[in-house]
């Protein structure tokens, strides 16, 4: 699938507003999550390992959300039922996000899209991309942060599957954890007052 065929996926386009984070602030964030050049190398390897497993990963994550009423709530309409069209549209962008997370060069276009993804979880932009009418207006920040755990724990069996040495799997997994934590930290920015971020 090409990225231009994914509805609502706008990384690198003029539709995305500029991230307010400066290069110096971003450098300190990377430093704080201990993310270095070696991690980028392991993320690239993880990208190769995951490439043909994306749908299976998404099945696990969607299974987890679907099994938790307090999470699937955010994809549900006013009737309280999960909206399959909404779930389906977000799923395509989620798959691309796995690829982007492993391939990230952390350039301005990527940083701007992190700002956009953050906004899409808040009342500033949630539901707009997919024309969803009656779903709840924002995702609570506490679940954004807590979700780092399942997104990290559940990726491990997929990293193991291609027969890499245990130490290499650990390195891929550590890099994934850092990359996800870095992103959720960036996504928390629109939730809080600029002076607090």
Binding string, 62-101, against ligand HEM, x = CB under 6 A?
A: ---x-----x--xx--------------x--xx--x----
If binding means CB under 6 A, how many residues of this protein chain bind ligand HEM? 25
Give the distance, in angstroms, between the CA of residue 154 and the centroid of all CA atoms in the same chain: 14
Query: Sign of torsion, CA 128 186 26 89?
Result: negative
Angle between helices 166-187 and 23-32 in degrees, nearest 10: 140
Q: Does 143 bind ligand HEM (CB under 6 A)?
A: yes
- Rounded to the nearest 5°, which phi and psi values hold at 128? -70, -45
Nearer to ligand HEM, 95 or 161 (CB): 95
Query: Sign of torsion, CA 179 185 188 189?
Result: negative
Q: Does 191 bind ligand HEM (CB under 6 A)?
A: no
Q: Does 197 bind ligand HEM (CB under 6 A)?
A: no
Asked whether the beta carbons of 11 and 3 are under 8 A apart, the reply is yes
Segment lying near ligand HEM (by CB under 6 A), choices 22-30, 32-40, 137-145, 189-197: 137-145
The residue with tokens 């959720």 is 184
Nearer to ligand HEM, 19 or 127 (CB): 127
Alpha-carbon Rg for the chain, nearest whole angstrom, is: 17
Segment lying near ligand HEM (by CB under 6 A), choices 12-20, 27-35, 121-129, 163-171: 121-129
Q: By the criterion CB under 6 A, which residues form the site for ligand HEM?
A: 8-9, 65, 71, 74-75, 90, 93-94, 97, 117, 120-121, 126-127, 129-130, 139, 143-144, 147-148, 151, 180, 184
């Amino acid at each position: 699938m090409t990225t231009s065929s994914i509805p609502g996926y706008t990384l690198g386009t003029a539709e995305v507003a500029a991230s307010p984070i400066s290069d110096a602030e971003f450098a300190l964030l990377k430093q704080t999550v201990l993310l270095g050049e070696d991690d980028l190398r392991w993320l690239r390897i993880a990208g190769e390992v995951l490439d043909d497993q994306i749908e299976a990963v998404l099945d696990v994550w969607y299974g987890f959300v679907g099994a938790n009423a307090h999470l699937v709530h955010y994809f549900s309409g006013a009737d309280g039922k999960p909206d399959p069209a909404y779930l389906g549209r977000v799923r395509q962008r989620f798959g691309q996000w796995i690829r982007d997370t492993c391939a990230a060069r952390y350039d301005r276009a990527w940083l701007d899209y992190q700002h956009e993804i953050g906004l899409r979880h808040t009342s500033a932009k949630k539901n707009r991309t997919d024309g969803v009418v009656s779903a709840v207006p924002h995702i609570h920040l506490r679940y954004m942060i807590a979700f780092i755990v399942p997104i990290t724990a559940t990726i491990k069996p997929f990293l193991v599957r291609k027969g890499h040495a245990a130490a290499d799997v650990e390195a891929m997994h550590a890099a994934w954890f850092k990359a996800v934590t870095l992103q959720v930290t960036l996504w928390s920015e629109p939730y809080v007052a600029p002076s607090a971020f």
